[in-house]
Amino acid sequence: MSTYYKAINWNAIEDVIDKSTWEKLTEQFWLDTRIPLSNDLDDWRKLSAKEKDLVGKVFGGLTLLDTMQSQSGVEAIRGDIRTPHEEAVLNNIQFMESVHAKSYSSIFSTLNTKSEIDEIFEWTNTNPYLQKKAEIINEIYLNGNALQKKSLQLSLKPFFSTLVFSHLFTILGITN
């Protein structure tokens, strides 16, 4: 009888990076529902309207990024996996990107009114700069080689965060 499906054996690992990555990811596991977001309300109330707007837009941009990474990013590199352990690592990353995207909604629902939340998502989904950045990133996911896709997946969050912050600081007239 031929093998229909192979069980993953974590006792026989081809690439030690898969095991160490899995362990690091599971050590850092968290859920937004386990973090007392309401503890930040006093600090939130001290921010100016401009600062609150900036935070909302930054988190909106990061929600866009995490959504894209959980939907397109991991799927783009899935075809280049070499081991079942690497696939398990990718499944973990994909899940955590979804958790990250959801966490921003939890933050919004704690700090903002429904109309403010709607405005944040409207801005995020229609801002031409964010959408252009998303288009460029997605183009690499669709047409890049394996190394480009994996490099992008690893470096995207710090890179995108810098782009979001620099754009918003420009909007607010904050320069140095």
Is residue 88 classed exposed, middle or buried when 0-12, 13-18 and 19+ CB atoms within 10 A define those classes?
middle
| CA–CA distance, 114 with 85 (Å, rounded to integer) | 42
Cα–Cα distance measured from residue 89 to residue 110, given in angstroms and rounded to the nearest whole number: 31
* Residue of 156, 167, 169, 163 whose CA lies nearest to 66: 156
Active site residue 4: no
User: Within the chain, what is the greatest distance between any pair of CA atoms?
Assistant: 69
DSSP secondary structure letter of residue 73: I
Point out the catalytic residue in the list 4, 5, 104, 141.
Answer: 104
| AA identity, residue 53 | D
Catalytic residue IDs: 104
